[in-house]
Amino acid sequence: MKNKRKLLTIVLNIILIIFILNFNSFAFEIEEATDYIWLQEEITNASNSTSKEPNINSKYAIVLDRDSKTILYEKNSNKKVPMASTTKIMTAIVLLENIEKNNSLTLETQVEVCKEAGAIGGSRLGLKKGDKVSVNDLLYGLLLCSGNDAAIQIAVSVGGSVEGFANLMNKKAEEMGLKNSHFVTPHGLDMEEHYTTAYELAIITDYALNIEKFAEVVKTRNYTVCIDGNYKTITNTNELLGYLKGVNGVKTGFTNGAGRCLVTSVDRDGFNIITVVLGADTKKIRTKDSISLIEYTYNNFEQMNIADLIKEKYEEWCKINENRIFVYKGKKNNINVKLEDIKYNYYPTKKESLKDISISIDNINTFFEAPVTKNILVAKLTVKIREKEILTLNIVTNEDVGRKDIKDYFLECLKCQRSYNF
């Protein structure tokens, strides 16, 4: 009898260990309520801070300016690390872009929940095998309450399987030029070879926010879904949404391997940034770090209208040089030029550095022998803050100029002769 009890105890302990190991790999987003009194205190402290550098405890972090794609702050931002449920940002991208390409699947399409989605653990929308749910509600369940079951069902509905969908995710990452991101799952539970970097996650997020539906979903605090005819209200797990000025998304995450993660997008008076913190030890740390990065950015940086400064300098250069760009043996002696397009109008600059901005134009080639074609380099425009180069634009030829032929020389002679006779 004692041996049987001992054996039963061993079996139960093994089962408990297996359960704990699997439990710890799940991505729970709602296990810890937000302390909003503490949150408001942190927001007030960060807003009033005069610190020139943020104090960040998370292992990996970045602040990215969305317009210029400039990094305003970074900490280990190129290290490959697990990213938990922030994975679902890419999941949503692949879903929304494949809906556009595939007329048989729309946001209104009702899908039947598969066994794999119904059985997945961790944070859930609450799906079970056989339930009917719209793709639109799966999307909200994916991004608001971070449903792993919604992620699996999206993967199966779009990619045929989790593996097939992961291939689509990696294909998209390749299209975006990401070198340090690889996806194995649509939900982000800890798995080998499933990783990204803080920098590339910011790039993924920036891309996603340009999709209107994605931006609409991630700024939603509460939403009512319909699962198999039953209505259920879900709440966004992003604790900063609605509490910190300008926050309009994006996604939380947690696994034991990834730690606490938070990707945040903020828009204050047209100054748009994305912050990423990964590898925080606690929810409060990820929240505090995110607030610190956001308030540090808006306290210390200002949007400089770089487009107007460049335009002014270019026009000044043109007045001086328009007759100095000579085409030898050309059908015309001078050639029109143009400035390369500026990809953004504003550049975030530390407030104390605004006076240190300089723009210079160096002539590269102002003498040409015909024939001359478009887009030949004439000069380079360089923008610097102190000694740091922040932008270079080319000034190039903007027309073709052919070489003179016998007829042109003959007409020139006639013109000279008439002028002489006069």
Q: Does the active-site annotation cover 181?
A: no
What does the alpha-carbon distance between residue 317 and residue 38 come to, in Å, rounded to a whole number? 55
Distance from C-alpha of 234 to C-alpha of 146, rounded to nearest angstrom: 10
Q: What is the CA radius of gyration of the chain?
A: 29
Pairing mode, if any, of strands 326-328 and 367-369? parallel
| Cα atoms found within 13 Å of the Cα of residue 85, Cβ hemisphere only | 31
From the centroid of its chain, how far is CA 105? 26
185 backbone dihedrals φ, ψ, rounded to 5°: -130, 160
Q: Which of 75, 88, 283, 404 is catalytic?
A: 88
Q: CA 385 → CA 64, 140, 304, 349, distances in Å?
A: 18, 43, 12, 9
34-62 CB burial, b ≥16 within 10 A, e <16: beeeebeebbeebeebeeeebebbbbbbb
DSSP annotation of 81 reads: B
Q: Which one is catalytic: 58, 68, 77, 85?
A: 85
Who contacts 211 (Cβ-Cβ below 8 Å, separation ≥6)? 92, 93, 96, 97
Give me the DSSP letters along 150-199.
Answer: HHHHHHHHHHSSHHHHHHHHHHHHHHTT-SS-B-S-SS--S-TT-BB-HH
Residue pair 401/335 in contact (Cβ under 8 Å)? The answer is: yes
Place of tokens 């990213």: 83
Q: Look-up: residue for tokens 């990996």?
A: 60
Catalytic residue among 123, 146, 265, 290: 146
Smallest CA-to-CA distance from 327 within 378, 276, 283 is with: 378
419 among known catalytic residues: no
User: Kindly report the CA angle at 255 between 73 and 75, in degrees rounded to 5?
Assistant: 15
Measured in degrees and rounded to the nearest 5, phi and psi for residue 341 equal -60, 140
Give the angle subtended at the CA of 403 by the CAs of 397 and 406, to the nearest 5°.
160
Q: Tell me the one-letter amino acid at 309.
A: L
146 is catalytic: yes
Which residue type sits at 104?
S
Active site residues: 85, 88, 146
